[in-house]
Structure 1
Amino acid sequence: MSRGSEPTLIASVQRALRLLEVVGEHPGGVTAKCLARTTGLALPTTYHLLRTLVHEGYLQKLDDGAFIVGDQVSGLHSAAQAQQLRSRVRRVMTDLREALNAAIYLACYRDGEVSVDEIVDSPRTPRVDAWVDFREAAHATAVGKCLLSSLSKEQRSDHFRRYPPEDLTPRTITGLRELVECPASPLVTDTEEYSLGTACLAAPVRFADSPVTLAISFPVRRLATTGDYVRPLRAAADEVSRVLAVAGEHSDRN
């Protein structure tokens, strides 16, 4: 495409999208003739596009001949909401990476397992080498310990029955009493417990259906500056909490 030239557009796609928009503006449904008048399309063209949209599940034709939005659109809407939520959370994580010069992790405890759902790093701030699956190393990572601290003692005991703590480095804590009795904390630290040369900090994320944490990893040589990380990490965790809370309220209203 030459500079300044107009993009090539597919007219039939534009017409179909316009029909979807108009149908969406009529909760009770709208007829083909009304759609043709509203969009300025010829009636035969309108019928042809409507048949295609119904066949693909984007529209549904009612018994009285009116058209309403189909299930496929609902699926797209849900996917769009999830992607927008992920984008907002990643923006917070990216800002934190740039502010702290550290790799950023978002993890949750789902169905009895630790799951790292998002990592924002860069060549300058590489992620930790996951040489042991995080699901098996919750006792040795700030991510895992922060998530487990949000559970009951019984749930923590169940987790360690399934994943007995093992020594990963000389600094790994493996005492069950200490791990099970761990109180909830606004900030959790891992100093070379998972990987020699690496330190991690994790803060809980509130207003989530299951335990969620936001964490950072960095070379242990920077541990002396940990105090500089605490406030930005907590602030970012609070921001992610607000994003999730707003998303949850919007979902409840729908």
Structure 2
Amino acid sequence: MGSVQRAMRLLETVAAHERGAPAKQLARQAGLALPTTYHLLRTLVHEGYLRRDSGLFHLGDAAERLSRRVARQRRRSAVTETLAHWHDVIGAPLYCARYRDGEIEVVGVADSQENPAVGEWADFRATGHAHAIGQCLLSQLDEEARRDHLARHPVQSLTPYTVEDEGAFLRRLAAARHGEPVLERQEYALGTVCAAIPIRIGTIVATVAVSLPVHQADQLLPTAHRLQAEIGRAPGVLALSFSI
């Protein structure tokens, strides 16, 4: 345990020097004996957590990867907390998703025992034409990207309310109004209606969606507008989370 603590202290000391630092300076600042410092430095360089350049020690690739993982975890925690807050305010299940590398990716869900999320009974990535999340994401793509997605994930009937064919689906996407919620009623799951808010951050295509039981269908659009207002109050959180 003591060796691990000393190694971590040494890593933190190196991280404080953007241009690197020599072993003697690191030993002094970390409060370590010079022989111990040399031993730890050799080990950390060997493992890739540090690198040595012209007598100065810098963070290595392994430390950079670890730092990025920690940053991603923090960003995911931030979006999870924000979704949970919006769920408490709105009182309905919420979903956060983005379109990345040609696929639909759900990055967060907030629900409760009283307001459970819709179960993923059919792969969300392959059924984007049927649910509000996918429809909203695809509506933000250009026609070529839409056709490419549908070539890999063809339109198929999931419920009696699912869009009939690719042509009808593409016409629906083309008719979507910029910035307006995308509504879907029982196309993915019977008994459920959904709305998705389009979010564009630079080149990032994303959405936050809400679902309601079908008997509350008349509240879908007002709920979507309320969610849109909540999103407008905290755009920075989503921008940060989608940079993952």
| TM-score, normalised with respect to structure 1 | 0.83
The residue correspondences of 1:1-254 to structure 2 (distance < 5 A) are 10-62=1-53, 64-181=54-171, 182=173, 183-185=175-177, 186-238=180-232, 241-245=235-239
Shift of 1:109: 2.1
- 1:7: which partner in 2? none
Q: Once the 2 structures are TM-superposed, how far is the Cα of residue 236 of structure 1 from its aligned partner?
A: 4.1
One-letter amino acid of the counterpart of residue 110, structure 1 = R
Structure 1 contact 107–143 (Cα < 8 Å) conserved: yes
Contact 2:193 2:220 in 1 (8 A): no
CA RMSD of superposed structures (Å): 2.5
1:175 deviates by 4.2
Stretch deviating more after TM superposition (236-245 or 162-171) = 236-245
For residue 203 of structure 1, give the secondary structure of its aligned residue in structure 2.
Answer: strand
Give the C-alpha shift of residue 141 in structure 1: 0.8
Secondary structure, aligned partner of 2:108 = strand
Quote the Cα distance in structure 2 between the aligned partners of 1:41 and 1:155. Answer: 57
Equivalenced residue count is 240
Identify if the C-alpha distance between structure 1 residues 244 and 216 changes in structure 2 by more than 3 Å, giving closer, same or farther. closer
Alignment check: 8 A CA contact 1:208 1:244 kept: no
- Structure with bigger gyration radius: 1
Q: Cα offset for 1:22?
A: 2.0
Question: Which digits, 9 at most, give the CA deviation of each residue in 1:50-92, with x for residues without a partner?
Answer: 2222222211123x43322211111122112222221111122
Following superposition, the deviation at residue 196 of structure 1 comes to 1.0
Give the counterpart letter for 2:79 in structure 1.
V
CA 1:171–1:21 in 2, change beyond 3 Å: closer, same or farther? same
What secondary structure sits across from 2:158 in the alignment?
A: coil
Please say if residues 96 and 232 of structure 1, whose CA atoms lie closer than 8 Å, have aligned partners that are also in contact: no
Question: Percent same amino acid at aligned positions?
Answer: 43
Structure 2 unaligned segments of length 5 or more: list them.
Answer: none
Could you say what secondary structure the match of 1:124 adopts? coil
SS of match in other structure, 2:89:
helix
SS of equivalent to 1:174 = coil
- The structure-2 alpha-carbon separation of the partners of 1:54 and 1:226, relative to structure 1 and needing over 3 Å to count, comes to same
How far 1:147 moved relative to its partner? 0.8
1:158 to partner: Cα distance:
3.4
TM-score using structure 2 length = 0.86
CA separation of 1:129/1:48 partners in 2, compared to 1, >3 Å: closer, same or farther? same
Aligned-partner Cα distance in 1 for 2:151–2:221: 35
Q: Partner of 1:139: helix, strand, or coil?
A: coil
